[in-house]
Amino acid sequence: MQIHCRSCGNHKGFVIPLWVRATFKINEDGPLSILHTKQLESIEEKLTDQGKTSYALTCQECSGDAEITFNEYEKLNTRSREKHALEGL
Amino acid sequence: MTFLCAECGNYTYFECDVQVHRSVKPTKEGLIVEDATFDDFNWSDSNIRDGLEDSVGYALKQSADVLQCNPDTGHYENTLITCARCGSKRVTPPYSKWSPKSYKSVCKEILENREEFKNLRKEKNYYANTLPVLWEP
């Protein structure tokens, strides 16, 4: 899997927004206490939707949209297959 | 008491949905998902705390805006805060500051506080009435 930013080419750090359900306690005197957090969204689903229905994953450096290549060898396989086919002809 | 659940009477434990930004780092072994940090600042932690405080503050201040009538039950439900004990969305501030019995118009309140304001005006310094001082080297 390869991820790179479409704007700046960064391939190291990205940011993804996720909804979480926080259980909290209201204290009579003082700030709120957080007791528990539960993730509501699947990171896998968001990543597979990236570029199709949404651009949730963004570059940590420039906030540009990230592009995910799940199988970077796919192109190589296609090229070699095409090459073999041409050779066969 | 900030919020009260109309179903179970809980006024301490509640739930709220907040959006958190997490860091995704691709490595040879796979993706590492962790808290988004910038130098020493933990952005993910800050997202949870700020989001929670924003939602609670908004639900308190604009309580009528966050309440939505559910036509099935006929009850008003809170769109932001949920009771953590019974899961009900019938969470509201337990009282309203406005009450028809204790309502007092602003004019009436100003008239009642007239003497206090007069005293305050006597104490006030009117710098605007003093002449400007010429600058001297």
User: One digit per residue, pLDDT tens: chain B, 137 residues?
Assistant: 689 999 999 999 999 999 999 999 988 888 899 999 888 899 999 999 999 999 999 998 888 889 999 899 888 999 999 999 999 999 988 876 667 777 888 899 999 999 999 998 888 776 666 777 778 77
Contact B92, B63 (CB under 8 A): yes
Contacts of B13 in chain A (CB under 8 A): 23-26, 35
Residue A59: which H helix or E strand, with range?
Answer: strand A58-59
B85 Cβ partners below 8 Å, 6+ apart?
B5, B8, B10, B13
A5 Cβ partners below 8 Å, 6+ apart?
A11, A14, A59, A61, A62, A64, A65, A66, A67
Contacts of A22 in chain B (CB under 8 A): 15-18, 48, 51-52
Query: CA-to-CA distance for B78 and B83, rounded, in angstroms?
Result: 10
B14, B21, B52: residue with CB nearest A15: B21
Contacts of B3 in chain A (CB under 8 A): 26
Nearest chain B Cα distance for residue A78, angstroms: 23
Query: CA-to-CA distance for A49 and A54, rounded, in angstroms?
Result: 6
B88 Cβ partners below 8 Å, 6+ apart?
B5, B6, B7, B8, B82
Query: CA-to-CA distance for B21 and A19, rounded, in angstroms?
Result: 9
Query: CA-to-CA distance for B42 and A81, rounded, in angstroms?
Result: 48
For residue B128, the Cα-to-chain-centroid distance in whole angstroms is 38
User: For strand B13-26 and strand B4-5, is the pairing parallel, antiparallel, or unpaired?
Assistant: unpaired
Q: pLDDT at position B73, please? A: 87
Q: pLDDT at position A55, please? A: 81
Nearest CA in chain A to B44: A17
Nearest chain A Cα distance for residue B90, angstroms: 16
- The size of chain B, in residues, is 137
Q: Is the pLDDT higher at A61 or at A54?
A: A61
Count of C-beta atoms within a 10 Å radius of residue B25? 15
Query: CA-to-CA distance for B35 and A15, rounded, in angstroms?
Result: 9
Neighbour-count burial of B95, counting CB atoms closer than 10 A to its CB (0-12 exposed, 13-18 middle, 19+ buried): exposed
Q: pLDDT at position B84, please? A: 94
B52·A34 Cβ contact <8 A: yes
Which of B33, B55, B54 shows the shortest CA–CA distance to A56? B33
Predicted TM-score (pTM) of the model is: 0.72
